[in-house]
Amino acid sequence: MLHIFAKYAERDPLSIPVGAFVATVATAWALALGFVAADIWAITAKANQATRDERSAIIRLIGIADSPEIDAPPLREVLIRYRNAVVDDEWVKNINLQPAGSVEKSLQDIRDVILKMSKENIPGPVISYLLSDLDILQDARSMRLSIGTTSVDTYRWYLVISLTIMTVIAISSTHSDRVRAGVVALLIYTVSATLCLWILAIHANPYQGIAKIEPTILMSSH
């Protein structure tokens, strides 16, 4: 690219854009990169919050089931089954891209157990508390699945990649009369852009890649 512009510069020196022109395209690239980064950090924060909410709800529900006053082994059993189904089927197997039937069944089993408990000698406030935590559990799961399927808008990635290429072209054109300086400038920009895009790419989906959120956080409860 740089050598192509250098040939044109030899024929017509006045065709070389001024150096300040690079800032026009580079600023647009930096802004687009910033928008994508902001989206990624926001999505990651939501994913972490959803995981914490889901884990907390499981801990509270199991805690109530294990309490001497309630002593509800069936509730604990279905909660453990739900947690295992989430980790094995929805998180590891489906990468949180789609709901798993085993998780849906476990949720229904939890509802059935709580409704059965409501017909026994369990205080009404305890049943209300269980149902409230179940709602939190379901909301956290829905948020987790929503994040897994949406992630960052693909068109924003297209914009960043396009502006990355345009910035390379802009640097090449403004250095067409100084090829060696242009090579250095392109090398610096290429390394910087590659590093930025790589960091964003490994965080693009909070449930995939080397920087993914591990499901083991759900297993750290009881």
**pLDDT for 88-121, tens place per residue?**
999 999 999 999 999 999 999 999 999 999 888 8
Distance CA 164, CA 174 (A): 16
Distance CA 49, CA 158 (A): 28
Distance CA 33, CA 164 (A): 9
The model's pTM:
0.81
pLDDT for 24 = 87
Residue 3 vs residue 206, higher pLDDT = 206
Which residues 6+ apart lie within 8 Å of 186 measured at CB? 2, 168, 171, 172, 175
Distance CA 218, CA 54 (A): 8
Q: Report domain extents, the chain.
A: 2-219
> Over the chain, what is the mean pLDDT?
88
- The rounded percent of the chain whose pLDDT value lies above 70 is 89
**pLDDT for 118-172, tens place per residue?**
888 888 899 999 999 999 999 999 999 999 887 667 888 899 999 999 999 888 8
pLDDT at 222 over 60: no
Give Rg (Cα) of the chain: 27
